[in-house]
Amino acid sequence: MNALLSRLFAICRLRLGPQDMPYAPTIASALVVTVLALEALLSQLLDVPDGLLLPRTLLSGLMLVGVPWLLLRLRARSGRLVQTLIALAGTSLLFTLALVPLLLIAAANPIDPAAPAPSSMLVSVAVLLLVVWKLMVNGHILRYALDWPPLAAALLALGLFMVELGLDQWLQGSGAA
């Protein structure tokens, strides 16, 4: 387990890629379930309406598992799915764990747009930096998984993030209606 954690941290530093992950379907499944459970728990802690919990979890699962499966299949690299899922889910778990305290602080101290407190601004900047870093890591993983140029993979990671964000906003609008 320490070797896997060390490799995941190396991926976060852009030193290793998904090809350096073990081919272990049980680890991939466990990481995916753990990430989705943590995101669901975090949603409840942040007072996301109960009616949105299942749709948001399904959306996260689709983006985490379904999209890489489809992309790898389209590129005739389906054999890379398990290692790609370990890399994506494992690094996502690390970033989510890093974001939890920041999101809880932000939820407890909402930002007043008229007079933002320095601590609120610091938390916002830290969250933004972690999100940008996560996008870079996802692009790095997709680059090696799909054999794409770095810029194309980075744009794909950004596009997938925007699609997930847009669908999440749409779900929130549907849930409010």
Q: Please give the tally of structural domains in the chain.
A: 1
Q: What is the pLDDT of residues 140-155, one digit of tens each?
A: 999 999 999 999 999 9
* Average of per-residue pLDDT across 18-23: 98
Say if residues 146 and 153 touch (Cβ distance below 8 Å). Answer: yes
The parent domain of residue 25 ranges over 2-172
Whether 113 is covered by a domain: the verdict is yes
Is the pLDDT at 27 greater than 60? The verdict is yes
Q: Which two tokens stand for residue 156?
A: 């794909």
Whether this prediction's pTM lies above 0.75 is answered by yes
- Name the residue among 132, 158, 151, 153 with its Cα closest to residue 143: 153
Whether 156 is covered by a domain: the verdict is yes
Is the pLDDT at 12 greater than 90? The verdict is yes
Whether 177 is covered by a domain: the verdict is no
pLDDT for position 175: 58
Q: What 8-state DSSP symbol labels residue 3?
A: H
Burial per residue of 101-129, b for 16 or more beta-carbon CB atoms within 10 angstroms, e otherwise:
ebeeebeeeeeeeeeeeeebeebeebbee
Whether 51 is covered by a domain: the verdict is yes
Whether 13 is covered by a domain: the verdict is yes
